[in-house]
Amino acid sequence: MARKATNKLLQKAKKSKSDEFYTQLCDIESELRHYKSHFKDKVVYCNCDDPTISNFFKYFASNFKELGLKKLISSCYREQEIDLFNTEETESGFFYEYTGIENVRPNSTDIIHFKGDGDFRSTESIELLKQADIVVTNPPFSLFREYVAQLIKYDKQFLIIGNINAITYKEIFKLIKENKAWLGINLGRGVSGFIVPEHYELYGTEARIDDLGNRIVSPNNCLWLTNLDTSKRHEDIELTKTYYGNESEYPKYDNYDGINVNKTQNIPLDYKGYMGVPITFLHKFNPEQFEIIKFRKGNDEKDLSINGKCPYFRILIRNKRLNEIENSQQVTLYNRNAGKSANTKSIEYQ
């Protein structure tokens, strides 16, 4: 008689299903074209990618010489399906190292099998990670915090796909606030969709089957997270609105000395105090223009509120440029006053 599946196994199956989203080549090409200068003489590791089918592997192998790569490593967690009635793992993970000479798509003789399952957290996978300069992949969304923590622990550069809600994770937001990670170029509908297996329901109005027979769903809620710099990240947000004269459009919070701004485009150019802006602000955030103060909470550590009501999550920021101007003016005024005082003392001693 078959035994019942445990809650742990059911949860594992649920997570496995939610993580079976495969990135389209067009989305990889659209994002990676902004980072080409970072890859010369580097080892790239795609540690959540079956090299026989992964579009990440295909992109880097096809552009190996153009990017000037030193080596490409692609590894796979080899548990494609979960049997709820059998906990024994029958297959090991595997990896492939490409140096621009071998077959672009590996055959069975090129594959190297792990002793274990090839999970990115395994000792064998970590040994490959240590060799890498840059990690590029679509990691398991259900393990996103743990995945990013590993990249930070081993001090790796990275470009990875995640859910937009990852911004709200305290571990991820802390990295963004400390300027250790930031959003990539494409966001939301900028990521056109993911290839899903046969057992997936094609949900949503933008679900489709492409010319190659791939089943595509477009959740429109994903982003690229990276610590690779781009010129776009240093472009100022153009500010056209003013606070003074339009104070009623910027209500103050009950529990924090700051004003609420409903849209990034409505950030006032003349307000040097604290402002709460939508989380989508991070897609246009220039760390030279603005300073991130904190996320979501007021001085009482409760959600920011206006007249007792809480708007959607807000990021508290401050305009660095206005504050730098003010500080510069204060220094100038101080020096002038100090100069006057010195001249007065000089006269007195004559």
Tell me the C-alpha distance between 123 and 91, whole Å: 17
DSSP state of 297: B
Which residues are 187's β-sheet partners? 223
Distances (CA, A) of 121 to 7, 76, 77: 23, 12, 10
Sorting pLDDT into bands at 50, 70 and 90, what band is 171?
Answer: very high
Tell me the C-alpha distance between 94 and 100, whole Å: 19
Inter-residue contact 54 to 82 (CB < 8 Å)? no
pLDDT in tens, 276-333: 999 999 999 999 999 999 999 999 999 999 999 998 899 999 999 998 876 655 545 4
pLDDT in tens, 104-148: 778 778 899 999 999 999 999 999 999 999 999 999 999 999 999
DSSP H or E run through 56: helix 55-62
- Sequence length of the chain is 350
For the record, the structure tokens of 79 come out as 């548990």
Per the rule left: phi > 0, alpha: psi between -120 and 50, beta: everything else, 219 is alpha
pLDDT in tens, 79-89: 544 343 344 44
Higher pLDDT, 66 or 324: 66
pTM score, two decimals?
Answer: 0.84
CATH fold for domain 11-229:
Rossmann fold (3.40.50)
Task: Write down the pLDDT at residue 50.
Answer: 93
Q: Residues 6 or more apart from 289 whose CB is under 8 A from it? A: 236, 237, 319, 320, 321
Task: Write down the pLDDT at residue 328.
Answer: 57
For the record, the structure tokens of 268 come out as 């006032």
Task: Write down the pLDDT at residue 263.
Answer: 96
Tell me the C-alpha distance between 263 and 252, whole Å: 15
Which residues are 76's β-sheet partners? 94
Q: Residues 6 or more apart from 107 whose CB is under 8 A from it? A: none
| Structural domain boundaries in the chain | 11-229, 235-350
Query: Angle at CA 139, nearest 5°, toward 158 and 25?
Result: 80
For the record, the structure tokens of 174 come out as 């802390």
For the record, the structure tokens of 81 come out as 């399906």
Task: Write down the pLDDT at residue 346.
Answer: 44
Inter-residue contact 72 to 60 (CB < 8 Å)? yes
For the record, the structure tokens of 15 come out as 């997570």
pLDDT in tens, 172-187: 999 999 999 999 999 9
Per the rule left: phi > 0, alpha: psi between -120 and 50, beta: everything else, 289 is alpha
Sorting pLDDT into bands at 50, 70 and 90, what band is 340?
Answer: low
Inter-residue contact 309 to 302 (CB < 8 Å)? no
- Checking if the pLDDT of 194 tops 80, the result is yes
Sorting pLDDT into bands at 50, 70 and 90, what band is 206?
Answer: confident
Task: Count Cβ atoms within 10 A of the Cβ of residue 161 and give its class: 0-12 exposed, 13-18 middle, 19 or more buried.
Answer: buried
Tell me the C-alpha distance between 47 and 165, whole Å: 22
DSSP state of 67: H
Task: Write down the pLDDT at residue 17.
Answer: 47
234 SS3 class? helix
Tell me the C-alpha distance between 281 and 315, whole Å: 8
Inter-residue contact 47 to 125 (CB < 8 Å)? yes
Task: Count Cβ atoms within 10 A of the Cβ of residue 256 and give its class: 0-12 exposed, 13-18 middle, 19 or more buried.
Answer: buried
- Checking if the pLDDT of 202 tops 80, the result is yes
For the record, the structure tokens of 104 come out as 């672009």
269 SS3 class? coil
